[in-house]
Amino acid sequence: MTPEGIFITGLGIISPLGKGRLSTVSSLKNSFCGIHNVNVFTVAPDQLMPVADVSIPFEVEPGVPRTHALALAAARDAMEGKNCIPDAVIMGVTTGGMPKSEVLLKSKVRIPQEYTYHGAGTIATYLAEHFSCQGPALTISTACSSGTAAIIIARELIRHGKAEKVLVGGADALCLFTYFGFFSLQLMDARGARPLDKDRAGMSLGEGAAVLFIEKSQSPPPGSIAQILGGGISCDAYHPTAPHPAGDGAVKAMRGAIADAGISVGDIEYVNLHGTATQDNDASEAIAIRTLFGDRFPALSSTKGMTGHSLGASGAVECALCSLSVSEGIIPGTIGCTNLDTKLGIPAVLHPENHPVRIALSNSFGFGGNNASVVIGSADLRPPERPLMHVRSLNVIGLACLTGAGGADASFQKFSQGDSLSGTLSDEEISRDLPQRQIRRLKRLPRMALALANAARKDAGDKFHPSSIFFGTGWGPLSETYDFLTKLFGSDMRFFSPTDFINSVHNAPAGQVAMEFKAMGTNLTATGGDYSFEQALLMASLLASEKEELMLFGADEMHPELSPLFDPSVPGERIPSDGGGALMAVATTSPSGPAITPVVYRMAAKDSGWAIMNDLKVTDFHKHYAAIFAGIPSAYEKMAGDQLTDFLSSSKFNGPVIHYRKYTGQYATSSAVAAALAVKIIQQGFLPAGLTHADEVSLGEKGILVMGFGPYCTAVDIRN
Amino acid sequence: MQEAPVDKLPVDKLIDELKRKVLDILNIQDIGLSDIDTNSPLVGSNLGIDSIDILELVTVIEHDYGVKIDNKELGEKVFASFASLAQYIADNRTLI
């Protein structure tokens, strides 16, 4: 029997090279360079750096940020001619709604509704709503590898039988935040990016979006452009921004992708390099390429001298270019490179060539040491033999949480008595067990991350070593974001902190945790408002290998200025709160001991109760579950409350329902705290009287279902 | 030899000022002023700092002294030691 492949049957791209396949291919053939003076915003003459913007007109719905509009433009093209609804939407994004938010923040606009589209996760949900997708809308924010990681997760979702058709891609738009961030890092070339050139002096910032419609099939469906053969993710666990000098992480990601594709290194005919044109990236990537290919190099080129570096979008854009490479038989040139740096020791295709390509590899490496590589093959190749995989459960071997009440023990004690865990710990309390040198340039969220991960690992015992890190955060490092922008706007764009910039990316906290544990495996940061922890859990259950030791955690910080603007559940809160939860776990298909499994992730619908029951696949709900932990975000109190009522009626459950946000306070990753507390309750075997407001309830064999309601409905099964 | 303008601080005083600033800006709490070697490179010393910290200092130096250090080659020369940093600032400062 022919194995099932995952085919790209729709491809939308909007980049400095144009919109759509035809104009993109034409730009590739003509070596079109999209890098020129910035005109999306104004900067002082002595700060002028060329960028690559999308200069062709595209529709922008009023009130919607540029990033969302770019994503929709690409997604519309990917969906053209499709008479079906995608089962899931997965996007790689870093800036999210920042192009709009930064303008509002600069003008001191304090109306929360104006920031509705701020969250990086809102691009996926915007597309999901547009195309009526009822399934998961997930967002990966691992800086410059986001788009590539999104494609890998989409493929795993299909391979695990959780979806058949997925809309997947990446989007990012130019904004002051990233422009001045990279300016402060002195990483932009005043002459425009010259990848692999001996005089290269940095990158050029770009923007754009690429969205693929992918579907599984035993033979190429009509209109197939290419297929996704394999993917690999790794983490350098070396430095917040600099790549590993020997490219160890890059080699690991490329090897992983090639092995996953079931091919050998010699089968790769073209590599679209990450090739940012910074000294360090190109040098370490060249070493990685030499390590992998020896002296038998495939065609190599970097397209960032044409497109600029579109950060979260770049991986998706370059996978799209690789797809066009195999479907059109074109190898793009390394535009901007006139004198190939011979010290790199690799050849490069400098001018575009018409040449058949059957298998291409696309590389993306980002801040936080996040690496991802994808193998793209022509549609007529025999797909790799990979059996259908099972979603894994995570056996919890250690846990931690941070709440206004303190760590796990203090929080559990108060929770058991039915007391509140709301409030915020001071930065000093959070980081009291962390060495000062390690945290000297870290603000609130990365400190929370390190404290949580260290405590969960300590709880598990020293013999466990997490190799993969999965992190969920609704809003990312807000202190760094706020401080960077405040300094920028307060100095009339003259002064801004590079430290704040590098620590502002959503994946910075997970990068710190990876460095702490030297965890070189998968490293993913998921973001999607109130469901961020659930997204991280879902990704862990899809990507972790059998028996792999991993750290799963979620955290959000309360920032007095930004939290009330971004998180709609915060403004009504009497006691501002924040915190998170961490689980040190072993991934397995045969769970024993307290285990956590994602079971529901779907968009809210009229009949949510029935739909959730359908996803749960249990008939006698009360025989499976002793209690429900219900997450009702106050911003959606009516909607979420109705969903819960509907679910209780569908499931006929009349046991204890614990509204955990009443204890934790309102913040996006309060569900991570709820999950950690639920594990504790499972371990002790009974629900304390303080929680039931009646008698103790023995759990027996039953589990706890941690549910989330609102625009999305989620459920996480926790049981022995 | 050219006389230093009278309104400029002596380099020695500037060196102390810079050491204090570095400890403060980079939030280094476990070493004191006297532990810092005036003639060692900033990166790789007991300060335990890296290229990102240097870039942070670049913005502070521009803000406080009006001295731009906007490329890596210049940065490597200037941050070779506190002595070279102080000398470069003394020679180029536009803000007192």
pLDDT digits (tens, 9 = 90+) for A209-231: 999 999 999 999 999 999 999 99
Contact status of B55 with chain A (Cβ, < 8 Å) = yes
Contact: A186, B71; criterion CB under 8 Å: yes
Per-residue pLDDT of A236-270, as tens digits, reads 999 888 889 889 999 999 999 999 999 999 999 99
Q: Is A68 a catalytic residue?
A: no
Q: pLDDT at position B9, please?
A: 61
Task: State the count of interchain CB pairs (< 8 A) between A and B.
Answer: 47
Do A440 and B71 make contact, defined as CB atoms within 8 angstroms?
Answer: no
Q: Which residues contact B5 (CB under 8 A, 6 or more apart)?
A: none
Report the alpha-carbon distance of residue A356 to residue B63 in Å, rounded.
54
| A499, A501, A502: best to mutate for the B interface, most B CBs within 10 A | A499
Q: Using the predicted structure, report yes or no on whether residue A422 has a pLDDT greater than 70.
A: yes
Q: d(Cα A134, Cα A139) in Å, to the nearest integer?
A: 15
> Does the beta carbon of B39 lie under 8 angstroms from any beta carbon of chain A?
no
pLDDT, mean of residues A579-606: 95
Determine the pLDDT at residue B85: 97
Indicate the residue of A241, A494, A496 with minimum beta-carbon distance to B52: A241
Annotation says A274 is catalytic: yes
Distance from C-alpha of A285 to C-alpha of A280, rounded to nearest angstrom: 8
Residue B58 distance to chain A (closest CA, Å): 9
Tell me the nearest-neighbour CA distance from B5 into chain A, angstroms: 28
- Our answer to whether residue A401 is catalytic in this structure is no
* pLDDT for A385: 85
Q: Which of A133, A144, A235, A322 is catalytic?
A: A144
Catalytic residue selected from A68, A274, A506, A559: A274
- Inter-CA distances, A413 with A99, A410, A458, A491, A707, Å: 44, 5, 19, 47, 22
Across the range A33-39, mean pLDDT stands at: 92
Residues of B in contact with A239 (CB under 8 A): 50
pLDDT band at residue A679 using 50, 70 and 90 as cut-offs: very high
Q: Which residues of A touch B59 (CB under 8 A)?
A: 184, 495-498
Compare all CA atoms of chain B with the CA of A488 and give the residue at the minimum distance.
B59
- Here the tokens at position A138 are 């997930």
Residue B64: pLDDT over 70: yes
Interface membership of B74 toward A (CB under 8 Å)? no
Lowest mean pLDDT among A423-427, A623-627, B50-54, B69-73: B69-73
> Which residue, among A328, A362, A376, has the nearest Cα to A21 in the 3D structure?
A328
Query: Is A181 within 8 Å of A498 (Cβ atoms)?
Result: yes
Which chain A residue has the Cα nearest residue B46?
A437
CB of B53 less than 8 A from some CB of A: yes
- For A610-619, the CB contacts below 8 A with 24+ separation are A610/A646, A610/A650, A611/A134, A611/A713, A612/A647, A612/A650, A612/A707, A612/A713, A612/A715, A613/A647, A613/A650, A613/A651, A615/A715, A616/A715
B20 touches A: beta carbon within 8 Å: no
Q: What is residue A138's predicted lDDT score, i.e. its pLDDT?
A: 98
Q: Out of A68, A118, A244, A309, which one is annotated catalytic?
A: A309
User: Which of B28, B52, B72 has the CB atom closest to A498's CB atom?
Assistant: B52
Predicted confidence (pLDDT) at residue B2 exceeds the cutoff of 60? no
User: What does the pLDDT read at residue B4?
Assistant: 47
Q: Determine, for residues B59 and A495 on separate chains, whether the beta-carbon distance falls below 8 Å.
A: yes
Q: Which of B52, B53, B68, B74 to mutate to test the interface with A (most CBs of A within 10 A)?
A: B52
Instruction: Read off the pLDDT of each residue in A282-300 and give the average, rounded to a whole number.
Output: 97
Tell me the average pLDDT of chain A: 96
Contacts of B29 in chain A (CB under 8 A): 436, 440
Residues in chain B with CB shorter than 8 Å from the CB of A240 are: 52
Tell me the ipTM for this assembly: 0.90
Could you report the per-residue pLDDT of A424-478, keeping only the tens digit for each?
Answer: 999 999 999 999 999 999 999 999 999 999 999 999 998 999 999 999 999 999 9
Chain A residues with beta carbon closer than 8 angstroms to that of B62: 494-495
Contact A436 B29 (CB under 8 A): yes
Question: Per residue in A467-503, pLDDT tens?
Answer: 999 999 999 999 999 999 999 999 999 999 999 999 9
pLDDT in tens, A54-76: 999 999 999 999 999 999 999 99
Question: B12: which 2 tokens?
Answer: 């020695």
Test A441 with B28 for CB contact under 8 angstroms: no
Residue A188 contacts B where some CB pair is shorter than 8 Å? no
* Segment holding A194, helix H or strand E: none
User: pLDDT tens, A539-578?
Assistant: 999 999 999 999 999 999 999 999 999 999 999 899 999 9
CA pair distance A582, A407, nearest whole angstrom = 11
Alpha-carbon distance of A481 to A494, in angstroms, equals: 17
Average confidence (pLDDT) over A95-122: 97
Q: Average pLDDT of A595-615?
A: 95
Q: Are A594 and A396 within 8 A, CB to CB?
A: yes
**Per-residue pLDDT, A39:** 82
pLDDT confidence band for A419 (50 / 70 / 90): very high
Q: Which residues contact A583 (CB under 8 A, 6 or more apart)?
A: A394, A396, A398, A399, A456, A551, A552, A553, A596, A675, A676, A679
Reported pTM = 0.97
A179-193, A381-395, A703-717 — which is least confidently predicted?
A: A381-395
Counting every residue written for chain A, the total comes to 720
Residue A372: which pLDDT band, with cuts at 50, 70 and 90? very high
Test B52 with A491 for CB contact under 8 angstroms: no
pLDDT tens column, B23-59 = 999 999 999 999 999 999 999 889 999 999 999 999 9
Determine the pLDDT at residue B1: 46
B94 in A contact zone (CB under 8 Å): no
Q: pLDDT confidence of A89, banded at 50, 70, 90?
A: very high
What is the 8-class DSSP label of residue B27? Answer: T
Tokens of A557: 């910080």
